[in-house]
Chains A and B, each alone.
Chain A
Amino acid sequence: MNALDEVKKALRKVNPGLDDGKIVPGALLKEDLDVDSLDLVEVAMALEDIYSLTLDEDEMDGIKTVGDIVALIEARLKVKSA
């Protein structure tokens, strides 16, 4: 599964009512998906479990869109495999 699919899965775990079609890279977490700061912590926890990594609060601070999360994960995976 690619990073976007995993992020989608994590978001739907936190909010089971989320419409899959709305979870696109450009979607704003708060405005478009109603994902608040607490939800984002849960999303981060789910991704940490899947990828066996630790996401710091500082790293999560700038996250605004679905694409931001995907980019963060991909960057971290690159560092890991390098």
Chain B
Amino acid sequence: MPDRVVVTGFGAVTPLGLDAEDTWRNLVAGVSGVDYISLFDTTDFKVKIGAEVRDFNPIDYMDPATARHTDRFAQFALAASLQAIESAALRIDESNRYEVGILVGSGVGGLDSLTQQFRNLSARGPTRVSPYLVPMMIADAASAQVSIRTGIRGPNFSLISACATGTDVIGIAYKMVRWGEVKAIVVGGADAAVTPIGLAGFAQAGALSRNSEPKRASRPFDKERDGFVVGEGGAALILESLDYARARGANILAEIVGYGATSDAYHVTAPLESGEAAAKAIELALAGIDRDQVGYINAHGTSTPLNDASETRAIKKAFGEKAYRIPVSSVKSMLGHMMGAAGTIEAITCCQVINKSVIPPTINWEHPDPECDLDYVPNTARKAEVNIAISNSFGFGGHNAVIAVGRYHHK
């Protein structure tokens, strides 16, 4: 018999706050975390805006030597994971260290570390490359840091599915708990792609908004949307089997009730226009669940012309006429696109929606688009009792991942 899988804690470092609570408050208030980029000089860039994490001090979470030898993305991941472990009151000791796992993903890994060391290589030669380059750059560095810091010795790895990473990690972690491979798991996503090479790469792919007003640039489902805003940050949750959570008296925040993943088999950046494969992922996540129960859809909603239209089609394909009655919102309108952390913070958002009975809005929604004709909870948060929420994430390469989060019922 598979175990029920519950959420018992979360943590986040985002452009809207240095923890999950602050982030939530700002999301509900409709605050934009987008601004002019301050991390580097954007003089030569067409795109000058991003959603940066502000005032993050890694020393609050790790010693100076670790901070110096850890890429910003892994610092975010470690901070969010430690917050999650603390909020779940999960104690790691000899009795459970091999029964707890870690799965922290990243879309691009230590991009900035690689760039800096490549600069050393070109300017001064191979003997000037840091011995820490590889452990800083590899995408599983975040997962490794969490283990080193916490003493967790169960299964520990990372996975990558571009911008779907943050949802796929939760889906796979859910399965690991469900089938008894671990009793509990720290699951997270993190990225720090607001770097010169990151910004240039996404801009050259035509994916980024050219809007010069930062706060108005991310406008998912609005007719005048013109691309996403690159963001950064980290988010993490603690998932555990219901039995384990009960046995240790944990505070249960929500239940993960489904996961679906498919691929478009179509294009490296563009989504499948019909939304067919994405709709299939939604259906798989809701297998065995009455679709009438779904009271909220946290959209991938990147604000690119293609995503938002094809995602709308996918939702309609999966829900039929009911799609028009389900509130859909994109927190990327406020957080920008946190890349590998996006799906993870959005899963946390779904838990918060269920617990606090409020749906954060899609801000900057001003001009209706006939191709995007659902209820996007425009501009102001809305009170709603939600029992089941789903979160969609889609990634470059055609990855589609959807998780379903349910209100926890003791039964």
Contact = CB atoms under 8 A, between A and B. Distances in A.
Interface in B128-147: 128, 130-132, 135
B127 interface: yes
A54 B125 CA distance: 13
A45 interface: yes
B127 A14 contact: no
Interface in B91-142: 127-128, 130-132, 135
A42 B130 contact: yes
A17 B130 contact: no
B65 A16 contact: yes
A41 B131 contact: yes
Q: How many interface residues does chain A have, given as a range?
A: 10 to 19
Interface string A28-48: 000000100111011001001
A45 B132 contact: no
A39 B64 CA distance: 13
Classify the secondary structure of A's interface with B.
Answer: helix
A45 B65 contact: no
Given A45-B127, A54-B127, A38 B64 contact: no
Contacts of B65: 14-18, 34, 39
Interface residues of B, number: 11
Contacts of B127: 45, 48, 54
B131 A15 contact: no
B222 to A, nearest CB: 46
Contacts of B290: none
B356 interface: no
A16 B128 CA distance: 20
A45 B295 CA distance: 58
Interface of B is mostly: helix
Contact of B128 (A15, A38, A45): A45
Nearest to A38: B131
A17 B64 contact: yes
B131 A17 contact: no
A48 B126 CA distance: 14
B68 interface: yes
- Candidate in B69, B131, B135 with the most chain A CB atoms within 10 angstroms: B131
B321 interface: no
A16 B64 contact: yes
B63 interface: yes
Contact of A17 (B63, B132, B135): B63
A42 B64 contact: no
Contacts of A16: 64-65, 68
A42 B69 CA distance: 11
Interface in B35-72: 63-65, 68-69
Nearest to A54: B127
Nearest to B120: A45
A42 B131 contact: yes
What 4 A-B pairs come out closest when comparing CB atoms? A41-B131, A17-B64, A15-B65, A16-B64
Given A16-B68, A38-B132, A45-B128, 13 more contacts: A14-B65, A14-B68, A15-B64, A15-B68, A17-B64, A18-B65, A37-B131, A38-B131, A39-B65, A41-B131, A42-B132, A45-B127, A45-B130
Interface of A: 14-18, 34, 37-39, 41-42, 45, 48, 54
